[in-house]
Chains A and B, each alone.
Chain A
Amino acid sequence: MIWAIGGGKGGTGKSFITSSMGTYLAQKGRKTILLDADLGGANLHTFFGLTRPRYSLTDFFDKKVALQDISVQSGIANLDLITGSIGSLDSESINHGQKQKLFRHIRALDADHIIIDLGAGTHINTLDTFLLADRMIVVTAPEVTALENMYHFIKSAYFRKLKFIFKAYDLTTSIQETWKNRATYDIHNLKDLIIHLKQSSDRVRDIFDREMSGFVVHIVLNQVRTPRDILVGENLKSVCMNFLGLPVVYAGYARFDEAVLKNINSKEPFMLSNRLSPVATEIKALAENIIAGTHISVRKDVANGSLS
């Protein structure tokens, strides 16, 4: 199963969540490979105390080494790492052919779980990698800027996906026509457009239902500090459906904990040295929710009090 972790904004904890979920899955005995696709600022290896990985994606792109062969051991049983390369490569410099080759190799990797840590931003290479995954995950934080970037990221991924579908089914022209005359049909946004298209033709409806049924984004809320913050994820389910027309699953949250920062700075895998931490429990819960595609259950009427 391929997991992709994006979210638009930097600093929300994508790499922390990636490394911790990976550690959890590996400890459960699942063969897991983490792939650092943050081609601009890759440092997933630092979470495992590796300073200079022997190989990186540069070797894959430049020296034509197979992807399977550039994975390095993380120091944790069942967990391997394919590292990006700091600075030497950015997503701008990968061409279409290289990208397709990378995707082919990712699909061919021998592992139970492949977790791809995407960089910040909404570059088309980032979006395409996101869409490649069986589990599309966004990590965000209860801050307005993080949520803005997250909405933008999800919408961009959705647009990208639609573009592929339009192209594959030769719908682009007719949809552009509809959009041009949107005032006539009382269409204001993407959601209206989709509803209109689905109503206008059974064929288009079937295509959308078939192709978009798998488009579900799993939300992970990181750096949660109050019970009100936990509710943000719950509210996002309603907001994304109502105003973006997109189904999202609230997979879970991880609270803010100074211990996480200390561990990152001392380059120790968090899940190994903090087995009893509530954060570790939360990571396990959200990983299981992502595998099963289930929601975390949050009581909507709990908004006061403190995290226990």
Chain B
Amino acid sequence: MEAFLKYFDLLELSQEAGIEDVRKNYDYLKNLYSGDSIEIAALNTDFSPELRQEYLARLDDAHEKLTQLLENKKPAVAQNTVRMDDELCDWIANIACFSGAALKSIRERMVVDLKDMFTTTRIQLQYLEDIENEVFESFRAEVYLRSYLVEYTRFLSLDTPRVLADYLPRYRAWAASRTTPAGMPHL
């Protein structure tokens, strides 16, 4: 999973970038580095044919992986989407804090098993449980947690941005609290 950071880096994007940015920068870089424009030709030995091949291959790979990560994946089978009755909708609309526990109770009220969620999202059970228990140590960077949360909320047909906006700040606060505040060298 840590490879995703490298992919964003290769495409000269920040990890907040969306699928549209990924496509745009991929097209731009692919076009720039596969062509024979003067800015490339002038590089001479600094950009050998082998280097070009290797770079373009990495670019393709990054594009493919990030597209998979960010693609608006609809649940594969229709009956996997959860039906919500009005009462449940109202109840969810009134939830103020989407903590892991809240997400768990929403899921349980919808009678959704984590195993079903795994079947569609292919997210390891352990991670799904860690989301619900807010075991932040399991997620090495926000980008992973975020992508899991997106899948999780989509599966339950929840308002994804709203949940993210509520959930992620707690992760960030936790992440910030474990780095040394001053003099920490930037990696």
Interface on A for B, CB 8 Å cutoff? 142-145, 147-148, 150-151, 189, 202, 205-206, 209, 232, 235-236, 238-239, 241-244, 300
Contacts and interface: CB of A to CB of B under 8 A. Distances in A.
A3 B24 CA distance: 35
Residue from B28, B43, B46, B186 with most neighbouring chain A CB atoms (10 Å): B46
A144 B42 contact: yes
A235 B185 contact: no
Task: In the A-B complex, list the 4 residue pairs whose CB atoms are closest, starting with the nearest.
Answer: A147-B42, A144-B38, A148-B42, A235-B39
B46 A206 contact: no
Interface of B: 12, 24, 28-29, 32, 37-44, 46-47, 51, 55, 185-186
15 contacts: A144-B41, A147-B42, A148-B44, A206-B185, A209-B185, A209-B186, A235-B32, A238-B12, A238-B32, A239-B32, A241-B12, A242-B55, A243-B51, A244-B46, A300-B24
Nearest to A143: B38
B28 A300 contact: yes
Nearest to A229: B38
Contacts of B41: 144
A14 B78 CA distance: 65
Nearest to B52: A243
Contacts of A235: 32, 37, 39
Nearest to B187: A205
Given A238-B29, A242-B55, A243-B51, A147 B185 contact: no
A145 B24 CA distance: 30
Q: Mostly helix, strand, loop or mixed at chain A's interface?
A: helix
A151 B38 CA distance: 12
A44 B182 CA distance: 48
Contact of B43 (A142, A232, A239, A300): A239
A147 B43 CA distance: 8
A235 B55 CA distance: 16
A202 B186 CA distance: 11
B51 to A, nearest CB: 7
Contacts of B185: 202, 205-206, 209
Contacts of A144: 38, 41-42
B38 A232 contact: yes
A103 B186 CA distance: 33
A232 B40 CA distance: 10
Nearest to A206: B185
A17 B185 CA distance: 39
Nearest to B32: A235
A235 B37 CA distance: 10
A156 to B, nearest CB: 13
A239 B40 contact: yes
A209 B186 CA distance: 9
Nearest to B44: A148
Contacts of A241: 12
Contacts of B46: 151, 189, 243-244
A243 B28 contact: no
Contacts of B51: 243
Contacts of B37: 232, 235
Contacts of A189: 46
A232 B38 CA distance: 8
Contacts of B38: 142-144, 147, 232
Contacts of B43: 151, 239, 243
A157 B174 CA distance: 43
A88 to B, nearest CB: 34
Nearest to B28: A300
B45 to A, nearest CB: 9
A232 B44 CA distance: 16
Nearest to B46: A243
B29 A243 contact: no
A232 B39 contact: yes
Given A143-B38, A205-B185, A235-B39, 20 more contacts: A144-B38, A144-B42, A145-B42, A147-B38, A151-B42, A151-B46, A189-B46, A202-B185, A206-B185, A209-B186, A232-B37, A232-B39, A235-B32, A238-B32, A239-B32, A241-B12, A242-B55, A243-B46, A244-B46, A300-B28
Nearest to A191: B46
Nearest to A150: B42
Contacts of A239: 32, 39-40, 43
B39 A147 contact: yes
A300 B28 CA distance: 8
A148 B12 CA distance: 24
